[in-house]
Structure 1
Amino acid sequence: MWCHLLVLSLLVCGSHASNFLSTVMIYDPSGNNTVVVRSKMTYQNQCPGSFWTCQSKNCTEGASRAVATIDTNGTCQNDVETYYDVTQTSKLVLRLSAPVVLQWWINVTNNVTEVVAVAHAHTWTRSDTGRANASPRSNVLPVLRVASNCQRNVTLPTFDPDGDVVRCRYQNATSVLKLSADCNMFFVPSIDIAEGAYAVQVLMEDFPRQNITLAYGNGSENLTSEDPLSQIPVQFVLIVGPRLTSCVDGESLPLFWPSTPANGDHLFASVNQTLIIRLSFIAPSIQSLRLLFSGPLDMTDRRNSELVWTPTEKDLGLSHPVCFVLQTVDFEVITRHSEMRCVIVTVHPVVVTVTARLQSTFRLSADQIDVAQLKADLVLRGLPSDTTLKLVSFNETATQSSIVP
């Protein structure tokens, strides 16, 4: 859930109600020839009944659930979950819709006005996995802030449940961020970039690692490694703010300490067991500090230092992207953001943490431990082969005895 969102007042009177801030969506096969689409849409000063309309032939919309959350600043997030019957549809095409008066971005510097967000999804069974395709997991905060004189990287999460290659490209090019194919975006200060808000519109696609066949009944379609299996929109607002006296994190900008999960970390959770993601940071002299995050709908934060979430049965087997930033307001009432970090949380039936002691004739570091080989040895000793083994911490302890070869 996107919480505590502070948005700079950017609205200017005009002929349209300019309210749109962001959208991101993912989809998964759900069995019985159905696809479930989960999406987030954020608006400023309005809470419309936005939804995705099916543009495909023979597409049938099934059960749907929408939850609207309004924060103290009037910003509304719509979380929507919808099932589609794709029995006779080889490719699902969805378009974001809302009441006409709300289909406009907030006033932005790069002259983007109308909201255009379209998703594509192949729905037939893949020959390499034996199931229908699932989209990449992605997420982003509705609004991100950078200082006009400081370089900043914005990396979108790109975890793909099928192990596909994930690439990004712009829907409409923006001069404010440089985008690489691996979904990394870079803000590089330039005299050509004016302060203000910019609409960022990215298309994320997944590609099979080898040529595959999609099949359903008597029909089939061949895809190469250059043919996208799905295309999902990731859209948000980037605000270029005033110059800073220092671009060093921890001086003028808030800084996450190393004990905070790193960007791209893969975390694991269990059904009905509370997951706590602990964050540590330093911040310069400030008037206020808030943790902003985007994750599962019922995720909450505690004391601006912990993200708390308890998965349920409906989350079993799913991977949720969670993104977070620190927001500070200084005594000159200038709002600043830390870097955005994103992690993937995968929900398993059971997660068990064990402590193991390894003996070695030489000093070991965490990156020298071959987890795959360790798992293979444990499987020979009775560990179920479908167990996921992950090294979560490592401490070296010296012993008094020596090991004789």
Structure 2
Amino acid sequence: MVQAAIAAADLTHKSSHFRGGIISWKPTDNHQIEINYRVAFRASSGHACDANTIENGTLLPGEGSLQCVEGCSDTITTMSYYCTDFSATEDWTSGTNSIKYNLSASSNNLFTFGFSSCCWIPLVEGSSNWRMRTTANLTVRQDTGKINSSPVSAMQPVVRFSYGCDHTLKIPVSDDDGDVVKCRWSKRTPNDECGGVCETLSGSYLDQSSCVLTYNATQSTGWYAVALQIEDFQKTTDTVPFSSVSLQFLIFVANLSESCASRPFLPQNIITDGSILHSSANKIFNESIIARSGAATLRVTAIDTVSPIGMIKSALFPFGTSGREWFVTVTWTPMKSQIGTHLFCYTAVDNLGQTSDQTCATLVVDEEPNDTVVLNQDCNAFKTPEKVHTKCIEATTGVPKIFYLATSCSSYFVQCNELGTGRIVRCAPGTEWCNHVLTCVHSGSCATEG
């Protein structure tokens, strides 16, 4: 009996590895949808990831499968994923993947798919089983004449709260159709959307219209799971959503000695909360993120991110001379398959485990302009030198004549002469090339120039 109890406890410990995720979707062709999912697991439970895993684009096997549970009854795919982010300190790995799936016609065009298994980390409230459910409606909308696309969101796998403090957590949401987006608690009935973690953050309040969660952390320290449905509506007064997206993550409440005002914070960065930044396929996106400790005795130890596939984050370095600021640099060269919108979020963590508010921006990947010159990863050489001569000749003999070309590196441009020779030129620090005004402008301001 004792051995059986020890074995059961050991199994529970090894299985307590789920850290949440999200499942969203968008239409592609007739009755085909692209399902996008992000999952997070305890890294030491067979989900190891590092910078090389991300840079090499290694597909991790994941675990379990995505099932269609309403409108069809298939196994859609195994939950393999590309690692995008990890934390060695908090022992988690997060990643994403997508799959195109053909749906058979049904009487109401409603389909529900989800991901279920065991186990969450031991929780203060709720039980260990997880269940995620996302609903898609493939009926052509009367207002747009198109099939709906679901809203999307992004959250860190682990959000940290300090015991005894008031906390406000903004759930980032985005919708390609421009719909009204609301958030609600996932429900056990009539259709179980949340397994063992339905409304398990007692004492919290969720503003459904603004998707803001407030919580006075005075209940108990420990782990809590949050299970939400993100839903889109044509009008604020509508009660039936176009779609319902499952979002789940963890909150850890810790009893710390520092005051509630000692959390790290994020000074003004190029990537600000709610901002929209444009890039192009095969063009290098490169920005720095600065974080500041909440007290002189504390230090920033990490800047955690929720990233698109292929984004590389540098090591953490000191910034400036204050002794309280640190930074990382994120670099991303999106592929043509990534054309569209991506949510990118980041959070600062200090040496006590306190976290800043999460900042989220929308990264829009556009088609690669035909006149863009592709540079190498270091931005100091042409990737295809033979094409530069042709592009320079076309530009300098056209009407009007153009002597400058954009490159795949945002802070560099090519200066051409009429002989077809191109020279790589770097913009001044803090500026980037803006092709439609043919000059360098302050980073992030190109969209408003001209």
For normalisation by structure 1, the TM-score amounts to 0.72
* 1:4-403 → structure 2 map (5 Å cutoff): 13=9, 16=12, 17-44=15-42, 45-46=44-45, 47=47, 48-58=62-72, 66-67=80-81, 69=83, 72=88, 75-89=92-106, 90-98=109-117, 103-171=118-186, 172-173=198-199, 174-175=201-202, 177-181=204-208, 182-190=210-218, 193-209=219-235, 225-248=238-261, 252-283=262-293, 284=295, 285-286=297-298, 289-304=301-316, 305-316=328-339, 318-329=340-351, 334-349=352-367
Tell me the amino acid that sits aligned with residue 112 of structure 1: S
- Partner Cα distance (1:234, 1:279) in 2: 26
Q: Which has a greater percent of helix? A: 2
Identity %: 20
* Secondary structure in structure 2 of the residue aligned to 1:115: strand
- Tell me the CA shift for residue 72 of structure 1: 4.2
The structure-2 alpha-carbon separation of the partners of 1:273 and 1:347, relative to structure 1 and needing over 3 Å to count, comes to same
Tell me the amino acid that sits aligned with residue 287 of structure 2: I
Tell me the amino acid that sits aligned with residue 347 of structure 1: V
- Partner Cα distance (1:13, 1:68) in 2: 31
- Tell me the CA shift for residue 135 of structure 1: 0.8
Do 2:276 and 2:363's aligned partners in 1 also have CA atoms closer than 8 Å?
yes
For normalisation by structure 2, the TM-score amounts to 0.65
- Partner Cα distance (2:35, 2:268) in 1: 35
Do 1:25 and 1:138's aligned partners in 2 also have CA atoms closer than 8 Å?
no
- Partner Cα distance (2:244, 2:80) in 1: 23
Listed as ranges, the gaps of 5+ residues in structure 2 are: 1-7, 48-61, 187-197, 317-327, 370-405, 411-435, 438-443
How far does the alpha carbon of each residue in 1:65-85 deviate from its partner, in whole angstroms, 9 at most, with x for none?
833547646534353322211
- Tell me the CA shift for residue 55 of structure 1: 1.2
* Secondary structure in structure 1 of the residue aligned to 2:235: coil
Do 1:156 and 1:342's aligned partners in 2 also have CA atoms closer than 8 Å?
no
- Tell me the CA shift for residue 350 of structure 1: 5.2
- Partner Cα distance (1:51, 1:62) in 2: 7
- Tell me the CA shift for residue 112 of structure 1: 3.3
Listed as ranges, the gaps of 5+ residues in structure 1 are: 1-11, 211-223, 354-381, 384-389, 396-405
Provide the aligned length of Structure 1 versus Structure 2: 324
If asked which structure has higher relative contact order (CA below 8 Å, sep 6+), I would say 1
The structure-2 alpha-carbon separation of the partners of 1:68 and 1:50, relative to structure 1 and needing over 3 Å to count, comes to farther
Do 2:300 and 2:348's aligned partners in 1 also have CA atoms closer than 8 Å?
no
Do 2:180 and 2:233's aligned partners in 1 also have CA atoms closer than 8 Å?
yes
- Tell me the CA shift for residue 51 of structure 1: 2.8
How far does the alpha carbon of each residue in 1:284-343 deviate from its partner, in whole angstroms, 9 at most, with x for none?
434661111112121121244222222111111x211111111121xxxx3221111111
- Partner Cα distance (1:133, 1:394) in 2: 30
How far does the alpha carbon of each residue in 1:102-143 deviate from its partner, in whole angstroms, 9 at most, with x for none?
x12110111232101111010122222222111112010000
How far does the alpha carbon of each residue in 1:33-58 deviate from its partner, in whole angstroms, 9 at most, with x for none?
21111111112232441331011334
* Secondary structure in structure 2 of the residue aligned to 1:55: strand
How far does the alpha carbon of each residue in 1:227-265 deviate from its partner, in whole angstroms, 9 at most, with x for none?
1011111111101112343322xxx22111123533222
- Partner Cα distance (2:224, 2:146) in 1: 39
Tell me the amino acid that sits aligned with residue 357 of structure 2: E
- Tell me the CA shift for residue 168 of structure 1: 0.6
Give the CA RMSD over aligned residues. 3.1
